[in-house]
Structure 1
Amino acid sequence: MTILVTGATGNLGRLIIESLIERGASADQIVAGARDVAKAADLGVRAVHLDYTDPASVSAALDGVDSVVLVSSSEVGQRFAQHKAVIDAAAAAGVTKFVYTSAPKATTTDLILAPEHKATEEAIAASGLPSVILRNNWYTENYVRDLATAAESGVLAAGVGDGRVASASRKDFADAAAVVLLEDGHLGQVYELGGDVAWNYDELAAAFAEITGRDVSYVRLGADEQVAALRAAGLDEGTAGFVAALDAGIRDGALADTDGTLARLIGRPTTPLVDGLRAAA
C-alpha cells in the first residue's frame, strides 16, 4: 500500500503523516504531497511536488499510489476547483481508497463554509472513487488567536449567542484519518466527527481564564455590532461579513452535534478543550 497525503506541510497534513507512522505504516509507504517540497524535508517520508492548481503535478504525484487523503484546501472560494483536480487525477489513476476531510453536515448545513465541501463530496461520488468522507468539526486550535486576545483584554467577544461547538484537536482528527486509511471496512462511510463535549462560549471563556490566570468574560455581540467591531479592527467589509456569518452558523447549531464517532474511531477520548488550547498555545 502506498498512501499520498496532500497538503502534507500544513498543520493537519503533518499530523496525519505522524499518525500513520504511529499506527504502524512504514515511511516508505507514505508520500507527502506539497507545493513546496523543501518544507517537507523534516517529515521523514518521500516528498513530491503537488500543487492543487497544477493538474500535471497532481497526476505525477499519484504515480504508484493506492490510497489518497485529500486534505481540503485552505483557499476559500478556490477550493472546489483545486479539489476537483485531485479527484479527477485519482480516478484516472485507479486509486482504491480516497479519503476527504470535509465539513460538518456538508450536504445539508447552512454553514457559510459548506458549499465548496458539498460540491467536493458530490464530485467524489460522481467519480466512482471508493471513498471515505470525514466531516471534521472545528479544530480547537482555531481559538488560539482568541486566547491571545483574551489574555490581553480579558474579553472574548463573538456573535455566536449560546451556540455550542464540538471541537477537537487536530491530532484527534489526524488519528481518525490514519485509522480509515490503514483499516479495512470504512469504504463508503460518511463520518460526522466531533469532540466528546460540545461547549459554549461561556465555557470557552472559562477555559481561557484557566490557561491565562486572569478573568475572561464572554461578550455577546449582535450581527451588526460584530461587523462594526471587525471593521473597526481593520477587516474589510467582505471579510467582516464572512466572520459574522460563520458565527451565525455556530449560533444556529451548525457545530453543536457530537455522538462519539471520533472517539470510537481513534480508540480514546478526544482531547479536552483546555488541554487542546494549552498544547496549541
Structure 2
Amino acid sequence: MITVTAATGHLGRLVVADLLERGVPASDITAAVRTPEKAADLGVRVVKADYDEPDTLAEAFAGTDRLLFISASEAGARSRQHRNVVEAARAANVGLIAYTGILKSDTTSLKLAQEHQETEAAIKASGLPFVFLRNGWYLENYTGQIAQAVENGVVLGASGDGRVSAAARADFAAAAAAVLVDPVPGSIYELGGDEAFTLSEYAAEVSRQSGTPVVYRDLPEAEYAQTLAGFGIPQPFAEILADSDRGLAAGDLFTDSGDLRRLIGRPTTSLADAVGDALKSA
C-alpha cells in the first residue's frame, strides 16, 4: 500500500496520477487528505488525514508500506504538524517514509529550511527507513505570476545574478512516484532542473515569447520584503520570501546533481516550455 499525504494539493494530485500511469493499481494507493470530499475524483482509496489531528493520521497510515509525506504549506506551523506525521508513521510502523523537503537542507542558509531540517532529523530519529526528496524551486513559483509580469513589464526580486535550478511541479511529482515504486532506502536526492537561470534570464524569456518588454528589477532584500508586504503578503512571509531570494543569490537554490533527471528518466521541463505553457493559459 502506497499512501500519499496532501493528495489534493497541486503536487499530491500529480503524484497520484503518475502512480496510476505507472500501472500501480488504484486499490494499492491511498490518498490521505484533510478534506476527503475534495479527493473524490482521484480514483483511489481516500482517507481523512489532518496534520493538526494526530488521531486521523494514525488511522490513515495503518497498513502503509510506503508513505509519501508531502510537507505542509504553512511556514511556522510545520514543526508541530510534521512531528505529528512522523510520530503517527512510527506508531503505524510504515515500511518507508519519503519526505519532500528543501534543496540542500543540510547546508542551506534559507530561513525557510529550518522546519525541514527539524523534520529530517525527526524522521532519522524515528528509525523508519526513509528517502529524502529535497525539492528545489518550482518553475510555477515564477510562471504563476506571468500575467502580472507581462502587464507591468517587470519581474521583482532580490536575487541578483544568482541562478535557480527550478523545475516543473510535474517533474518533482514524477520523481516522488518513481521513488515510491522503486525506493532505495537511505537515499537523499538533491532535486532541481537541468537548466538553471537568473531572474534576468527569466524576464528576458517572458519578454521574448510574449512580445512585450519585461525586465528584472533587483531590489535590496529589505525593500523587496516591504514591496511584497505592500502587495498584501503578510509581513513575516514576505520576509521569508525575500530571504529566499537572498539565498538564491548565494547559490542555495542551485544544483547540478542531475538527480531529478535520473529519477524521472528524461530531461526536466525547460524554462522556455514552462513560459510558453504559462503564457497560453494566462
TM-score, length of structure 1 as denominator length: 0.95
1:140 maps to: 139
Structure 1, unpaired ranges of 5+: none
Cα-to-partner distance string for 1:116-150 (whole Å, 9 max, x where unaligned): 00000000000001000000000111113431211
| CA–CA distance in structure 2, aligned partners of residues 240 and 139 of structure 1 | 18
Judged with a 3 Å threshold, the aligned counterparts in structure 2 of structure 1 residues 102 and 24 are, in CA distance, closer, same or farther, namely same
| Paired letter, 1:143 | Y
Structure 2 residue 49 is matched with structure 1 residue 50: yes
Q: CA RMSD in A?
A: 1.4
| CA–CA distance in structure 2, aligned partners of residues 105 and 215 of structure 1 | 34
| CA–CA distance in structure 1, aligned partners of residues 230 and 124 of structure 2 | 43
Structure 2 residue 12 is matched with structure 1 residue 8: no
1:20 maps to: 19
1:128 maps to: 127
Moved more, 247-256 or 2-11: 247-256
1:233 maps to: 231
Asked if the contact 1:100/1:133 (under 8 Å) is kept, the reply is yes
Structure 2 residue 282 is matched with structure 1 residue 269: no
| CA–CA distance in structure 1, aligned partners of residues 236 and 186 of structure 2 | 37
| Paired letter, 2:87 | D
Structure 2 residue 123 is matched with structure 1 residue 105: no
Asked if the contact 2:71/2:99 (under 8 Å) is kept, the reply is yes
2:213 maps to: 215
1:191 maps to: 189
Tell me how far 1:226 sits from its aligned partner: 1.9
Judged with a 3 Å threshold, the aligned counterparts in structure 2 of structure 1 residues 223 and 4 are, in CA distance, closer, same or farther, namely same
Asked if the contact 2:143/2:274 (under 8 Å) is kept, the reply is no
Judged with a 3 Å threshold, the aligned counterparts in structure 2 of structure 1 residues 55 and 234 are, in CA distance, closer, same or farther, namely closer
Structure 2 residue 200 is matched with structure 1 residue 206: no
2:250 maps to: 252
Asked if the contact 1:141/1:277 (under 8 Å) is kept, the reply is no
Judged with a 3 Å threshold, the aligned counterparts in structure 2 of structure 1 residues 211 and 50 are, in CA distance, closer, same or farther, namely farther
| CA–CA distance in structure 2, aligned partners of residues 262 and 152 of structure 1 | 33
TM-score, length of structure 2 as denominator length: 0.95
Asked if the contact 1:101/1:133 (under 8 Å) is kept, the reply is yes
Cα-to-partner distance string for 1:205-234 (whole Å, 9 max, x where unaligned): 022123422111111112233234334434
Q: Secondary structure at the match of 2:59?
A: helix
| Paired letter, 2:254 | A
2:277 maps to: 279
Q: Secondary structure at the match of 2:72?
A: coil
Q: Secondary structure at the match of 2:63?
A: coil
| CA–CA distance in structure 1, aligned partners of residues 231 and 129 of structure 2 | 46
| CA–CA distance in structure 1, aligned partners of residues 134 and 245 of structure 2 | 19
1:93 maps to: 92
Asked if the contact 2:226/2:235 (under 8 Å) is kept, the reply is no
Q: Secondary structure at the match of 2:15?
A: helix
Q: How does 1:30-179 map to 2 (within 5 A)?
A: 30-179=29-178
| Paired letter, 2:192 | G
| CA–CA distance in structure 2, aligned partners of residues 128 and 60 of structure 1 | 20
